[in-house]
Structure 1
């Protein structure tokens, strides 16, 4: 009788094959127990290192949130010592150390232009030195274009980032220091085909490489009082068209808009309605936004510049049907050319002036009317404009300037007959383009926006109102001792959160029962974790030069407690803040080569925060302690998994063998039992001897 390998037979037999095989395999499978336990340990460690990485990442975020400005915190206050009952309230606010003038800058240099096909020879080299670091040499392994040189520099990790900009003179190699500050300037030596990339300002040898961004150290606003008055707020220009009926269309001509020094945008509506014109303007890059405002009778196109400031005035040029949308930045209407001495015959035509919704027929009669007569007649009509005459050197022009109640209204002049050449129109100016104007300690300052960022170094003024002669506003910039306290508390709390989390991951708890083993957290025996914690503590206990009496955290009241966390002595911090404000910033944020106050740091030491940020970045980097340990555990787990797979395959084959063997034995025993039964029956049927 045939049997199926690996499958329990359904043939009758005395043996319980399934139970026999199960018990045998249960015994055989114990060979997997050490590997299973090992895999569980690996998984626990991998998970624990994942938790550690997350914890340190949170600490990294907290450290990155603390900047040089955080430890040199300043505050502003505005007071008005003017007298009278019409004093202005809150004409401006001031944000301290928010403008770019206080920020660190990295040096950036740029080569002369090269053609994209220029070849730099294999074997030629370039040496790049940043600050006091030793130079890094880059040798071309093959002939290369300027793009290849860029890639070779970036691959060599020279302390700079190389890029390429292109203009009319060719491709320029740009090198930017990866570390900002005046201590991290770039020097370049180069030979042979790369010699044009050499740069050393201290050398007498001329160079075609130029500095396009000077390095700068971080600074803070100068404490003190500033007397400020605001005479004008910045505003964006806004213009409006004459009224159009709902059926008005624009089927012929061209519409062009230019804002400030921007390029001229040609407007191409997809539909010829006023709404189509509006949508085309908004879809363009003309630096303006357009809306339609209805006065209940007709619709007006309103165009507003997106940016404020006198330089961002709007110019609209329209021909054909679009001529009614023309606008000169001055808000004036200027007629087409009129030959000097030209006369007009009022018996053969006339002039109609529209200012806003008011129409005026200009009183002219008889022949031989000069442009001066036209000007005088318009002024006599008192129609909401002032007429003047200008000459461009060849021709005269009639100029209409809206005035009085019509100063913001659209103006159109319609001429018939002899006066047809004076026909034209302009949109009205609802709001002029203007700069903000203010005085700081008697110095006149203008700004294209109401956010003034470059008048007082380190201070951004936010203008909201114009002041009056009765006002006498003073802006005070002072050290913010309460801000330092808040920052110090944040610093301490961030470390304590990290320390407590690491304690939880490395904790060992002895058993209270004699003879019974204690319990321990997954990372309790990991020396790499203890190494990281030790490095962090060393950074916190380190000494920093240049603080004028403040050289360690203990000098400002921050120290370790018995449980490994930090504690802050508020009274000691207040004393340090009052007596040596600059020293606190130096303690945390000075860098090798430069102190926080910009003075030379000859000791080569970094501030506490600087060191911690460097350490934490290294812990979390690819190839760092956590990454290396995790990858090692993952590799070990892979080996363990492969070994388990091999053993499971062998056990599966063994189970098949056992099953086949016991199935065969069961069949044999069943057959023997059948034979025995048959023989018994036959013997029982034999005749008995008499």
Structure 2
């Protein structure tokens, strides 16, 4: 009750105004008692519905973790029946149903492009329908840009996530279904300024909205046992330059780097040091990563292709001083062109060959030496390269081919005098680009990566080692009965947690002493709460055809107990997973499809139906939201009534206070008059006797 603004005086007269007013207002304020009690009840109910919402939300989260794949889980196991002993761990692992071709996908649609300044009109709306769910209407409350439309859709919780992508044609509104699978397709109706966002493939009306990702259901991997051997792992090419002394600088030229079939990156380092070259390469899109490695005496530039596989070989072409970083995928060094028949005078010049850190002086003497003589002298030196001569149609080239097919060293040829025109160098190959090679049931498979995704449907192989001839590795893809049992257990536990939470919120406890009243939880008499349990139980007791003998939860050992919770018969479930694995997935996750004429084909599985119910319970306008908002509205009415009464009581208290103060003054005046008269009478002359 509000505080009075009246002035209370206890010294003006014989009346205790404060006590009188307090007692009167205490009696008057009793009119608030029913409202206060009612407000307390409303607050208790609102809090209880909040707890109910939390419990249902927890159940919803648990259900979202249960997918079609989890009820049809498969597993991979690797075994070696051979006699090989060199491998202490398996040469590969296998992931089942991670192959992109088997994953469940959500539908995604995209509008035509809009200019960034496009405005959409307040009051215009879209209706978004997901699968067989009722449509959600989204109305613009004010003029909005495309970003405003996106935000309004996301705030509506219509079952899609809206975003915006921008390209050369403008801004596009993208909507992706929040639930994957072919049963959750998107349909959009729109009007007025939003009309171009309409999308309905079954309609004959043209639409500028296009599907950018088709919905897809998960498919099972190809079960069976496969013989697998790995003869070669994929690797990325790695090349290294000749050594450069500390402080070396590149004074001219550019670099051109091409990896595989990618585009050629032209690189002109801003800093002419080896570190500057490294940084410029890493900042480019050359498809390689660059590092610097020191061998203790010189620094080497090392380039590694970012992608493995034989198709991703590196080609480097350098001009000017960057020619020292040239590399041909073949690993060969080809000299500048020389005129056919040109001769050299070994007396006025020399030729030095460096392969890695080994330097060889090519043995040549006398005048009149030909390019063939140079070739033969290099081959005689056995310096780690093989020399040959090619002709490009107009000129001859001295070609040096590093020995071996794997790692090779950088090669440089330094000529003085007559031999100066043969000078040049090439980077060496530390690691060749190669594909992974494996055999599956005798069929040879190659892959540019050690992650092999398309060899067995629904299976991704992760190669780690090469097998030996003595090994006999097999890969078995089978139904994961243990995983499905775990999923079913989670399904039961999640419902039981909700059922127990609702029981706690609706519990009625009878009195234990005669004459005393029992106690009730806040939601004990709320029919809406009982409706939630009734609908869930009905869905859990439903029948789903098409499971070849499994059509209800009782068929796999799940049933209700006397206390309203679910129980799981592990033995019965184990039998079902062994005899009818596919039937379990059908029971939980089958989906009905809506035909063009509005009719449906098939039946939703139990998990699908329960998920839809729970989503509806928690939706705006759902049973919990409606009840909570109704209670909040009633509480506001109650609060407003209390405010009105408190205002009236405050005025009444002021009135009482002022009236009693006035009465005190009157009584005080009368007392004063009485005292005066008494005094005057006492002063009158007394009659003589």
Does 1:464 find its partner at 2:468? no
What residue number does 1:588 align with? Answer: 588
C-alpha change, 1:137 and 1:557, in structure 2 (3 Å) is closer
Report how many aligned residue pairs link the two structures.
Answer: 663
What residue number does 1:22 align with? Answer: 22
Q: Deviations over 1:492-542 (max 9, x none)?
A: 111111111111111112223334332111222222221111111111111
What residue number does 1:239 align with? Answer: 239
Q: How far apart are residue 254 of structure 1 and its match?
A: 3.6
What is the distance in 2 between the residues matched to 1:394 and 1:171?
56
Q: Is the 8 A contact 2:411 2:427 kept in 1?
A: yes
What residue number does 1:409 align with? Answer: 409
What residue number does 2:447 align with? Answer: 447
Secondary structure of 1:514's match?
coil
Q: Deviations over 1:562-606 (max 9, x none)?
A: 111111111211221222111111111111149xxxxxx985211
What is the distance in 2 between the residues matched to 1:149 and 1:590?
34
Does 1:623 find its partner at 2:621? yes
Secondary structure of 1:455's match?
strand
C-alpha change, 1:27 and 1:94, in structure 2 (3 Å) is same
Does 1:74 find its partner at 2:71? no
Secondary structure of 1:363's match?
coil
What residue number does 1:301 align with? Answer: 301
Of 21-30 and 55-64, more deviation after overlay is shown by 21-30
Counterparts of 1:514-553 in structure 2, within 5 Å, are 514-553=514-553
Q: How far apart are residue 91 of structure 1 and its match?
A: 0.8
What residue number does 1:649 align with? Answer: 647
Secondary structure of 1:409's match?
coil
C-alpha change, 1:88 and 1:289, in structure 2 (3 Å) is same
Q: Is the 8 A contact 2:331 2:428 kept in 1?
A: yes
What is the distance in 1 between the residues matched to 2:337 and 2:200?
58
Q: Is the 8 A contact 2:84 2:469 kept in 1?
A: no
What residue number does 1:47 align with? Answer: 47
Q: Deviations over 1:317-374 (max 9, x none)?
A: 4444544444444444344444555555545544333332223333344555444443
What residue number does 2:480 align with? Answer: 480
CA RMSD of superposed structures (Å): 4.8
What is the distance in 1 between the residues matched to 2:135 and 2:527?
35
Q: Is the 8 A contact 1:86 1:470 kept in 2?
A: no
Secondary structure of 1:649's match?
helix
What is the distance in 1 between the residues matched to 2:509 and 2:79?
61
What residue number does 1:639 align with? Answer: 637
Secondary structure of 2:70's match?
helix
Q: Is the 8 A contact 1:44 1:522 kept in 2?
A: yes
Counterparts of 1:146-545 in structure 2, within 5 Å, are 181=181, 216-250=216-250, 252-255=252-255, 257-265=257-265, 273-338=273-338, 343-392=343-392, 395-403=395-403, 407-545=407-545
TM-score with structure 1 setting the length: 0.80
What is the distance in 2 between the residues matched to 1:342 and 1:201?
78
Q: Deviations over 1:62-117 (max 9, x none)?
A: 11112222222222222222235556741112222222222224567899x99979
What is the distance in 1 between the residues matched to 2:543 and 2:59?
22
Q: Deviations over 1:128-179 (max 9, x none)?
A: 99989999999xxxxxx99999999999999999999887899999897787
Q: How far apart are residue 607 of structure 1 and its match?
A: 1.0
Structure 2 residue ranges without an equivalent (≥5): 139-144
C-alpha change, 1:277 and 1:602, in structure 2 (3 Å) is same
The correspondence for 1:613, drawn from 594, 611, 614, is 611
Q: Is the 8 A contact 1:453 1:460 kept in 2?
A: yes
Secondary structure of 1:360's match?
strand
Secondary structure of 1:220's match?
coil
What is the distance in 2 between the residues matched to 1:246 and 1:446?
43
C-alpha change, 1:435 and 1:649, in structure 2 (3 Å) is farther
Q: Deviations over 1:257-286 (max 9, x none)?
A: 444444555557675554454445445554
What is the distance in 2 between the residues matched to 1:137 and 1:14?
72
TM-score with structure 2 setting the length: 0.80
What is the distance in 2 between the residues matched to 1:183 and 1:656?
69
C-alpha change, 1:652 and 1:184, in structure 2 (3 Å) is closer
C-alpha change, 1:603 and 1:358, in structure 2 (3 Å) is same
C-alpha change, 1:175 and 1:500, in structure 2 (3 Å) is closer
Q: How far apart are residue 479 of structure 1 and its match?
A: 2.0
Q: Is the 8 A contact 2:439 2:445 kept in 1?
A: yes
Q: Is the 8 A contact 1:378 1:387 kept in 2?
A: yes
What residue number does 1:64 align with? Answer: 64
Q: Is the 8 A contact 2:12 2:661 kept in 1?
A: no
Q: How far apart are residue 26 of structure 1 and its match?
A: 2.9
Q: Is the 8 A contact 1:385 1:406 kept in 2?
A: no
Q: How far apart are residue 306 of structure 1 and its match?
A: 3.5
What is the distance in 2 between the residues matched to 1:168 and 1:632?
49
What residue number does 1:141 align with? Answer: none
